[in-house]
Structure 1
Amino acid sequence: MTTVLIIVAVALVAACALAFLYARQTGGRGIRRRFGPEYDRTVARHHGDARAAEHELHERLKRHRSLHERPLTPEARSQYEDRWTRIEAGFVDAPQQAVAEADALLAELAHDLGFPDGRDFGEQSAALSVHHAEHVNGYRRVHAAKQGDGGTEEMREAMLEARGLFDVLASNGTDRPVRRHPHHAEGSGTA
């Protein structure tokens, strides 16, 4: 009887050890799948250290996973869409101003949806990366471009990428495209 108990105990310990090893091996793939391109950017920022990047991303998940976005009212959505359209239309004449306004609008929109306040860009972009990893880089690019270090083409590309995040946020986190004013979007130089 004692021998049987020892064999069962050893089998249970072995099964737990195998489960633990499997979870550690697939954990990186799970976090990579969840964060997509954000995973690669984080690994690059950690000079290729995947373990450090995964630790950072797990910490972000712990801090921001429970955040629940508040939906926009139809009126608020329409106002944000109109403001974004005006910003895009103004890009041709004043690209630096348009980029700064886009950055401010994204910060305000994210905050209205329940994300951390945009005054702490790092914390707000970290929270956005947990919920919108595919699109958060557009916000980062616009935020960096407002400093004026890049040329007009770089600002244009940042605006295009940021529009992806705007569309997702303005559509209350769905992939449903937002309404566009065709005469503004095509003539803005950013479409």
Structure 2
Amino acid sequence: MVTLTPLEVGLALLALVLVAAIAVMIVTNRRRANLRAKFGPEYGRTVEMTGSPRKAEAELQEREKRVAAFTIRPLSPQQADAFTDAWVRVQAQFVDDPQGAVSRADVLLTEVMEVRGYPITDFEQRSADLSVDHPEVVQNYRSAHDIAVRHARGEADTEDLRRAMIHYRALFDDLVHEPVDHRMAPSVSRLRQDDLRGSDPR
């Protein structure tokens, strides 16, 4: 039977601790890389909001667990066509009634979310839920909502409302016409302004 000296036992324990620490570091880095890849800009926003990567990652993982419990389903072709037709009407409404069109666009998006299987909760929770499967456009949703709130306080003009519609359009396309490859799709800033001047967005 081999008898280890106290020094050898100590070195063996130290080696085990180092191996465990390295394993934890590898797992942590892999998880962080996966979350960054999945959430994109939403990862950075959450880090800024929570104050640390560790807290941000816990928050994002909690969102994933919550959304995993939902029954998210794609729209049928008939539902997609109906919502697209509704969007065309909202877009046409913008010409004569920008504020009403923005309000209707927000309601229409909520209807799409509900049909897709997202629970209809408060705005912040809806945004968090959407960020799991739509991280590239959830900030558009927040920006549009912020403009609508500012307009209600008299702090936004018609051009701001036009931007809100473009932001809403980005999320609408993602929800109704999945999947959208954002590496190939135009950015919000490049979406055609004439979409709000009567042209057919389809």
Q: TM-score, normalised by structure 1?
A: 0.79
Q: What does residue 20 of structure 1 align with?
A: 24
Alpha-carbon separation, structure 2, partners of 1:80 and 1:116? 18
Query: Is 1:175 matched up with 2:180?
Result: yes
Instruction: List per-residue Cα deviations over 1:114-141 (Å, max 9, x = no partner).
Output: 1111x42222211111110001122222
Q: 1:123 aligns with which of 101, 121, 125?
A: 125
Q: 2:103 aligns with which of 78, 88, 100?
A: 100
Cα RMSD for the two superposed structures: 2.9
Query: Is 1:83 matched up with 2:93?
Result: no
Alpha-carbon separation, structure 1, partners of 2:33 and 2:63? 16
* Contact 1:106–1:139 (CA under 8 A) maintained in structure 2: no
Gaps of 5+ in 2: 186-193
Task: Give SS of 2:29's match.
Answer: helix
Q: What does residue 139 of structure 1 align with?
A: 141
Gaps of 5+ in 1: 178-183
Alpha-carbon separation, structure 1, partners of 2:81 and 2:102? 20
Task: Give SS of 1:69's match.
Answer: coil
- Residue 76 of structure 1 deviates from its aligned partner by 1.2
Higher Cα Rg, which structure? 2
Query: Is 1:45 matched up with 2:55?
Result: no
Q: 2:167 aligns with which of 161, 169, 175?
A: 161
* Alignment coverage as a number of residue pairs: 181
Instruction: List per-residue Cα deviations over 1:69-111 (Å, max 9, x = no partner).
Output: 2121222111100111111111122111111111111111011
* Contact 2:42–2:135 (CA under 8 A) maintained in structure 1: yes
Task: Give SS of 1:115's match.
Answer: coil
Q: Which amino acid aligns with 1:93?
A: D
Runs of 4+ that moved beyond 4 A: 6-13
Alpha-carbon separation, structure 2, partners of 1:157 and 1:116? 26
* Contact 2:80–2:176 (CA under 8 A) maintained in structure 1: yes
Alpha-carbon separation, structure 2, partners of 1:162 and 1:186? 12
* Contact 1:67–1:115 (CA under 8 A) maintained in structure 2: yes
